């Protein structure tokens, strides 16, 4: 095997393979093509993909190709796990090898033409000829199979598709739903031959086995890679039968459900125990905190008020530094467009034929009221529906939401997934459970009340395509559709505008760690699995995941797409949500500061300080504010008291600057964020923003106390409180034309 350049593949790094028959050292002829393997795939498959099987290198299939594979061909290989290894060859050598593998292809007996899927669907009375013709006319646009298209459109259900496929391939049809699998040691040994990912990815399940045969239930009997892999491993004749998707889901749940649940809870802790928030404070952290408290008490006994003056000075200077950092962020974010921008023209020009499968995870709990809106939002998504893998993740004891989900009539690409009851009852645990079942190359999270832009998946996909493999996450922006409901929703919407349109884009521009939002973040699935997915015990799993991505060498960007949510309009409900966020930020900071040297080594000084600003810079001002407000009030009420001694002249002026500049900056951030979205009615309410700051401090102190007693308690936010369920169009600024767009900055190295 010698690597040499080819004129037509000058930039290709693929190794070269000659397919000519040679004479080995023992005088025998050696054919580099595995003829038996090629015949297993069939001549039609080889011609369709332009590939000939060379054999296996461990679990990896090796293929010889004479030209770069097209996107359509790569889609045919998308279900190979692991992905095949490619070797270049000449076209003449490839055609000669194909003729050796199939010498009688042209002159041998021809098989009768097999009835097509659409013909069987009409013959069985499932659809009409006109319906088949209509959907066949749509097929060239998406490149999907007619059965998948009809099912995604709601014209066929999974059982009907299985009936047709069984007739089409003259195979047996099996019903597995509700049946217990037999307890058979040999069958159990077959299951253990491959990991759960193989069985789920290929949609195949062993159902019967004896010494010579293995019967497997399959959704797609054309999956020759799965059949060939099974034959090589179990060394038996493989007899495929056809089963519907719900039947296979039932079998997989029976087989892997307990393991999935355990993994959803403990995956990160098992993989990286030092990054899990299952235990909030480590012993060294507790010792440092106790030592600082004792040192302050002891020094106060010795030096009087001076240690308290030093502590006040340190808090004041830290506060001022955080205010200055936020001010710099505002200047940076308003100076230029710093998000990854995808234009409508780019979306319209995107061909749907090569688009991969996309998994959408939607964890829901006590959300029956918003499911009709969720259904409409999913139907509006501009992505081939036959390549959507939507999982509605519902806890087993949430019977009301499950009943509502079944009654809502979601499309066939939406699977209602029941999560067995187990602590912790958190959103990240539900997402991890869904990830175990995910079949998409990309994964995104939506909340039940979300209304994302219809083209959001395509925009995220285009950003991934034009970026390097170090880009692991694309975060869409969030806003609220019920901003006019009351004063609280106006404050909340303006705050989100400042966060997602000013602060996060500025962090991206500076290449600093981005604490993700809890929804509308899009990931490469393989990266999620590599870093341990979400922390089931962290109540802001999104912020934690954003930091861990950067610690692992990946990065995040922001895309110019919006998801509209329902702003909290009820005060107590808002406090529960905000205190959970603050508690989670504190959890995340404590986790990543367990080993500060390791965190510093992985992030570098710049990103390490950026993490401090993103996490502590969000929480500490809220915690410090009541303390400073109380001191300021006492200072004015009793100017000659000891309170004044806590603020020597230098510290006094810094504190006064914090009071004035901090409140101004907070109001200015909200005003500018609302103005960038052209939500002018919110700008005037930024003048009352300091009142909102007081509410946030109340929630922050609730979070501090709850962090001590119930660190992993997930206080559910109630949705469906707004009468406004019609999303408003966003009219925020976009660059005038594609030529004005700046290329995405790449990370060095």
**Is the pLDDT at 738 greater than 70, yes or no?**
no
Task: Give the Cα separation of 539 and 61 in Å (integer).
Answer: 42
At 522 the three-state DSSP class reads strand
Sign of the CA dihedral with 7 first, then 61, 470, and 388 last: positive
Q: Exposed, middle or buried: residue 621 (CB in 10 Å: 0-12, 13-18, 19+)?
A: buried
Pick 635 or 726 by higher pLDDT.
Answer: 635
Q: What is the pLDDT of residue 600?
A: 92
What residues pair up with 414 in beta bridges, in sequence order?
390
How many Cα atoms occupy the beta-carbon half-sphere of 59 within 13 Å? 11
From 549, 529, 650, 686, select the one nearest 607 (Cα to Cα): 549
List phi, psi (to 5°) of 119: -65, -40
From 617, 632, 635, 629, select the one nearest 691 (Cα to Cα): 629
Task: State the pairing for strand pair 388-395/358-364.
Answer: parallel
Q: How confident is the model at residue 671 (pLDDT cuts 50, 70, 90)?
A: confident
Q: Which residues of 160-191 are buried (b: 16+ CB within 10 A; e: fewer)?
A: bbbbbbbbbeebebbebeeeebeeeeebeebb
- Candidate from 154-158, 377-381, 473-477, 674-678 with smallest mean pLDDT: 674-678
Largest Cα span, the chain: 109
The DSSP symbol for 80 reads: -
Q: Which of 23-27, 579-583, 638-642 has the highest mean pLDDT?
A: 579-583
From 331, 362, 356, 518, select the one nearest 439 (Cα to Cα): 356
From 68, 35, 79, select the one nearest 53 (Cα to Cα): 35
Contact assessment for residue 417 and residue 264, using Cβ atoms and an 8 Å cutoff? no
Q: What is the pLDDT of residue 737?
A: 33
**Is the pLDDT at 136 greater than 80, yes or no?**
yes
Strands (E), 182-328: 204-209, 213-218, 237-242
What share of the chain in percent tops pLDDT 90? 17
Contact assessment for residue 712 and residue 424, using Cβ atoms and an 8 Å cutoff? yes
- The mean per-residue pLDDT over the stretch 404-430 comes to 89
Q: What is the pLDDT of residue 524?
A: 93
Structural element, H or E, at residue 564: strand 555-565
- The mean per-residue pLDDT over the stretch 13-24 comes to 76
**Is the pLDDT at 326 greater than 50, yes or no?**
yes
Sign of the CA dihedral with 44 first, then 45, 47, and 51 last: negative
From 173, 157, 292, 279, select the one nearest 221 (Cα to Cα): 173
* Alpha-helix runs per DSSP H in 538-648: 541-551, 571-592, 596-637
**Is the pLDDT at 232 greater than 70, yes or no?**
yes
Task: Give the Cα separation of 660 and 430 in Å (integer).
Answer: 44
Digit-coded pLDDT (tens) for 519-561: 899 999 999 999 999 999 998 889 999 999 999 999 999 998 9
- The mean per-residue pLDDT over the stretch 616-643 comes to 73
Contact assessment for residue 357 and residue 385, using Cβ atoms and an 8 Å cutoff? no
**Is the pLDDT at 265 greater than 50, yes or no?**
yes
In the structure encoding, which two tokens stand for residue 395, read together? 């806890």
Q: What is the mean pLDDT of the chain?
A: 80
Q: How confident is the model at residue 495 (pLDDT cuts 50, 70, 90)?
A: confident
From 658, 682, 657, select the one nearest 672 (Cα to Cα): 682
**Is the pLDDT at 182 greater than 90, yes or no?**
no
Give the position of tokens 């209509």: 134
Q: Exposed, middle or buried: residue 449 (CB in 10 Å: 0-12, 13-18, 19+)?
A: buried
What residues pair up with 557 in beta bridges, in sequence order?
474
Q: Domains of the chain, with CATH numbers?
A: 7-101 (3.30.300.160), 117-253 (3.30.300.160), 320-740 (3.90.550.10)
Contact assessment for residue 42 and residue 50, using Cβ atoms and an 8 Å cutoff? no
Give the position of tokens 């259904």: 375
- Candidate from 261-265, 402-406, 629-633 with smallest mean pLDDT: 629-633
- Candidate from 63-72, 339-348, 606-615 with smallest mean pLDDT: 63-72
Task: Give the Cα separation of 278 and 157 in Å (integer).
Answer: 42
Contact assessment for residue 550 and residue 606, using Cβ atoms and an 8 Å cutoff? no
Task: Give the Cα separation of 230 and 212 in Å (integer).
Answer: 13
Contacts of 64 (CB under 8 A, 6+ apart): 17, 19, 32, 33, 51, 52, 53, 54, 86, 87, 88, 89, 94, 97
From 623, 640, 549, 627, select the one nearest 588 (Cα to Cα): 549
**Is the pLDDT at 643 greater than 80, yes or no?**
no
């Amino acid at each position: 095997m010698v690597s040499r350049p080819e004129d037509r593949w000058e930039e290709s790094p693929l190794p070269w393979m000659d397919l000519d028959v040679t004479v080995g050292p023992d005088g025998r002829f050696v054919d580099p093509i595995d003829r038996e393997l090629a015949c297993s795939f069939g001549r039609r498959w080889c011609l369709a993909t332009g590939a000939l099987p060379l054999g296996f290198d461990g679990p990896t299939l090796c293929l010889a190709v004479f030209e770069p594979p097209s996107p359509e061909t790569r889609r045919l290989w998308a279900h190979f796990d692991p992905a095949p290894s490619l070797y270049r060859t000449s076209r003449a050598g490839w055609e000669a090898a194909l003729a050796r593998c199939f010498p009688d292809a042209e002159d041998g007996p021809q098989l009768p033409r097999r009835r097509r899927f659409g013909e069987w669907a009409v013959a069985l009375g499932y659809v009409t000829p006109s319906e088949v013709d209509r959907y066949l006319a749509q097929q060239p646009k998406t490149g999907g199979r007619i059965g998948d298209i009809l099912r995604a459109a709601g014209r066929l259900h999974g059982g009907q598709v299985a009936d047709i496929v069984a007739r089409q391939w003259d195979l047996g049809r099996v019903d597995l739903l509700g049946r217990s699998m037999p307890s058979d040691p040999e069958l159990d040994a077959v299951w253990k031959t491959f990991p759960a990912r193989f069985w789920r990815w290929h949609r195949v399940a062993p159902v019967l086995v004896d010494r010579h045969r293995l019967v497997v239930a399959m959704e797609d009997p054309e999956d020759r890679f799965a059949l060939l892999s099974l034959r090589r491993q179990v060394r038996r004749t493989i007899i495929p039968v056809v089963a519907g998707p719900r039947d296979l889901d039932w079998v997989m749940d029976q087989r892997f459900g307990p393991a999935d649940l355990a993994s959803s809870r403990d995956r990160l802790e098992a993989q990286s125990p030092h990054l899990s928030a299952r235990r909030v404070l480590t012993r060294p952290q507790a010792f440092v905190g106790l030592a600082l408290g004792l040192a302050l008490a002891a020094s106060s006994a010795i030096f009087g008020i001076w240690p308290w003056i030093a502590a006040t000075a340190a808090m004041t200077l830290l506060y001022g530094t955080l205010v200055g950092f936020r001010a710099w962020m505002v200047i940076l974010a308003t100076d230029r467009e710093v998000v990854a921008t995808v234009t409508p023209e780019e979306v319209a020009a995107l061909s749907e034929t090569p688009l991969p499968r996309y998994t959408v995870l939607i964890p829901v709990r006590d959300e029956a009221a918003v499911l009709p809106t969720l259904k409409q939002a999913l139907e509006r998504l501009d992505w081939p529906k036959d390549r959507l893998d939507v999982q509605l993740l519902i806890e087993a004891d949430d019977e009301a939401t499950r009943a509502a989900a079944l009654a809502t009539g979601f499309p066939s690409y939406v699977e209602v997934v029941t999560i067995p009851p187990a602590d912790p009852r958190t959103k990240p645990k539900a997402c991890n459970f869904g990830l175990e079942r995910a079949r998409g190359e990309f994964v995104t999270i939506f909340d039940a009340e979300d209304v994302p832009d219809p083209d959001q998946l395509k925009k995220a996909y285009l950003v991934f395509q034009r970026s390097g493999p170090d880009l692991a996450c694309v975060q869409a922006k969030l806003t609220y559709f019920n901003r006019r409901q009351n004063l609280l929703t106006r404050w909340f919407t303006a705050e989100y505008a400042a966060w997602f349109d000013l602060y996060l884009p500025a962090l991206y521009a500076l290449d600093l760690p981005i604490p993700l939002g809890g929804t509308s973040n899009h990931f490469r699935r393989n990266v999620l699995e590599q870093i341990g997915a979400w922390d089931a015990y962290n109540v802001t799993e999104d912020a934690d995941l954003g930091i861990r991505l950067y610690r692992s060498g990946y990065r995040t960007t922001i895309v110019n797409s919006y998801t509209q949510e329902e702003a909290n309009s009820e005060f107590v409900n808002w406090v529960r949500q905000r205190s959970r966020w603050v508690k989670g930020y504190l959890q995340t900071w404590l986790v990543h500061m367990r080993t500060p040297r390791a965190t510093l080594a992985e992030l570098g000084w710049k990103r390490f300080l950026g993490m401090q600003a993103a996490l502590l810079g969000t929480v500490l001002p809220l915690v410090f504010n009541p303390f400073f407000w109380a001191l300021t009030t006492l200072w004015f009420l009793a100017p000659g008291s000891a309170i004044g001694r806590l603020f020597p002249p230098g510290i006094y002026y810094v504190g006064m600057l914090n009071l004035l500049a901090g409140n101004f900056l907070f109001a200015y951030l909200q005003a500018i964020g609302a103005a960038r979205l052209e939500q002018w009615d919110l700008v005037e309410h930024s003048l009352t923003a300091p009142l909102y700051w007081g509410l946030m401090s109340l929630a922050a102190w609730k979070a501090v106390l709850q962090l001590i007693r119930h660190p992993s308690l997930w206080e559910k936010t109630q949705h469906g409180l707004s009468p406004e369920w019609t999303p408003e169009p966003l009219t925020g600024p976009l660059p005038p034309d594609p030529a004005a767009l700046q290329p995405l900055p790449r990370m060095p190295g």
